[in-house]
Structure 1
Amino acid sequence: MTKPDYLFEVSWEVCNKVGGIHTVIASKALTLQKTLKDNYILIGPGIWQDIEGNAEFEEDNNLLLQWKQKARSEGLDFKIGRWKIPGKPIAILVNFSSFFEKKDKIFAEFWEKFRLDSISGGWDYIEPVIFGYASGKVIESYYRFFISSKDTILSQFHEWMTGSGILYLKERVPQIATAFTTHATVLGRAIAGNNLPLYSELNKLDANTLAKQFNIQAKQSLEKIAANEADVFTTVSELTNNECKQFLEKPVDVITPNGFEKNLLPDDKTWLTQRIIGRKKLKTITQAIINQPIPEDALFINISGRYEFKNKGIDLFIEALNRIEATTRTIVAFILVPAGHAGPRLEILERIHYENFDNPITSCYLTHYLFNKDTDPIIQRLFQSGLNNGTNQNIKVIFSPVYLNGEDGIINISYYNLLPAFDLTIYPSYYEPWGYTPLESIAFKIPTITTSLAGFSHWVKSLRDIENNS
């Protein structure tokens, strides 16, 4: 296989963790950077008003300085630096706000040339489309400044949110090869999230009707056009490929299962140290929240991922906890799902340092102050289920609504460093085109439970089938 001389990778999750795509890119960056050196360049959104507040990005004002000055004269605004992950690849964070005033003209051109239907698109459509457009202009500028006709350049765009960049390059710089990778489909996520049958009825579903029903015509239109206009169309599993055939009228060219960089894994000694430190932390936090002692042999389990209550199986996780029959062993279930919050709960910080089990606390689950607590689906379901962390219950539930980056104010351990502390992970997803969380769990030697509706489980099954037939 011929490798490109230059590779651009564009995603809303470059230096900006939202979900699994952040892991997809970050976990392969080390290998790609070793292969392509600084010809591997990542592009993400410059949505941080104070760039110093982005803990993942380290700006380098001298990097690609002459080109940056040239690009600035062309009306482009961005920061260049390094993504602080293994490999430290070049990252460009694009400030695309100046293009909003031109959005009507941009959308009109996309309609005339590609029939992209943006009429019904709200802000959650407009913002990423303008980002993708600006990213395309940045790549074009770099190409014209640095690259000769003998060089090959590939730009990979992740998800519909960057698809406009493909359309821009197709029109302005068609000699730049484009790849479009979808990690889920817009319609698939919407159907599953609305508790409707997806896989059993897939061949009967009409994309246009459903897109209108869910008011996602603009997103669906961009995803479909990007898939058909890109030089290469890929996805992460056969499950999602089936959705692409039905909803986008385009099967993928290549299925690219997600992987995990083995160099990110701790050695045995480090793993054991992380487990000891992590379990002590989990126990301390649990005791501080419920004001009750937790035995040393407690079973620590977790569910983690994006806050999609139905799609990620959070509803089933809570229901399963409620169905567990009387057990003499204490089970502490951590729900590690980021949500809007206002920082660490001060009373928890106090109780961490001053334990007092004389006054047990019930119906308390949170490590951080949660926005809209009274209407939060997880909190509501816990109340409804009767899982109240009472002294007479051996099932305890802790909800931490933060990204575990090691600086959240309560746990203060990154997700990968905390994972070895658990005894079991559970990811009962209904909609999971791949499923990085069970893969990560296994990679860190923690048993996991997932579902047959996850792309990862299908991949594991295919390996077993190959082994049985060999």
Structure 2
Amino acid sequence: PDEFHIDYVTNGVHFPTWASADWANLCNMEMGKGFADRIYTNDCWDKVYDVADNKIWEIRQLQKKNLINYIRARLLEPDTMKYDNPKQIIEIREKLRENVLTIGFARRFATYKRAYLLFRNIERLSKIVNHPEKPVQFIFAGKAHPNDAAGQDMIKRIVEVSKRPEFIGKVIFLQNYDMELARNMVQGVDIWLNTPTRPLEASGTSGMKGVMNGVLHFSVLDGWWVEGYKPDAGWALPEEQSYENSDYQDELDVETIYNIIENEIIPAYYQRTKSGLPEKWVGYIKNSIAKVASKFTTHRMLTEYEDKFYFKLAERGKKIIADDFQLAKDLAAWKKKVSRNWEGIEIVSIKQFDVSKEPIVIGKKYTATVEIKLNGLSPEDIGVELVVAEPIDSENVAIKHTQEFEIKKIENSLVTYSLFVTPTEPGVIDVGIRVYAKNPDLPHRQDFCLVKWL
């Protein structure tokens, strides 16, 4: 895997589309002309630290107020009321509060996303949402595929819990999930929660949309959060899976979620100064904007696509088509020649340090020599390479070091390759030598992956 030519670009989200108008205005005014012109440099994002805490908190409170008002109005829509008990709708509207820590969860209800996880311990969840001084309210939304019965059952379970007396207005499931509801939620909640089964989360752009609005992220270290998580800018469950038994893993994860909510998130949110400002919470928001949101814009994503792939491919495309595709013709002819003669390569001798007879000493120079009869190929058609890797005990190979042999002597078709190597690190290693097809005009090694291991 260390040598794959395949690379990746992590998704990003479009700030002007997903940021609330109030939050976007704050950023445009406080974070420099470059930001207003949509040139999102790190220096622009870092200016969030200069914004007064009370300004950030006022906007965040306004965003939540807008969300609560939006939900109250949505609950009265005919398509909602005809499926729910009118008494419960009125009760939910009355119990929704703007000054309560609000956690959102909205996405496609596939089973691996584990929307059910929070409800494994109903009694403990009830204590969290009904705390007399520091309550929490959860807002859920989403849809399951029409043929996904398990996903539909998860929604049914959440709806059933939300209608229990102790959870009315404290745990809410909003019907008819759409882009408008998604936009209001990622702008208005305090925490965006994500609980996927490791390692099945592909990306998770809803969380990116949240952090663009000053929402803090809380997720398993999977998908984008593996790259995005920074201490004091959100919360995370470990990346590693502790149990093969999924039921045990779910139990561990939900207890960890409860503990983090009770011991870290709630205290940070409700701890206030004399003026009512949650300084620690606002500090988390600033860290999230500067260290997390700044890395997940479409501006960064497209720039990375250009630098990693598009510009390089465009340049190579020009070379390939130049002079009536001469480079393409030359490469095709070279590949045909090498393929025809590859099996005729003869390894005459290999001389290298023998780890079974003497210990390898750090700082000592060692020599390796390989003699090869090329039989129809030229010395420039192949490369000989020393490969040093961590002990190979599975399909995963971690390469520590590679070093090319140099041509020492040529006698007709017999070519001698040699190298000098000086170990610099202690430890147990595996060492191998490989011969590969070599051409400076190949875009990467895997484009013509003929290899012989000696």
Give the TM-score of the pair, scaled to structure 1: 0.32
Structure showing greater radius of gyration is: 2
Give the TM-score of the pair, scaled to structure 2: 0.33
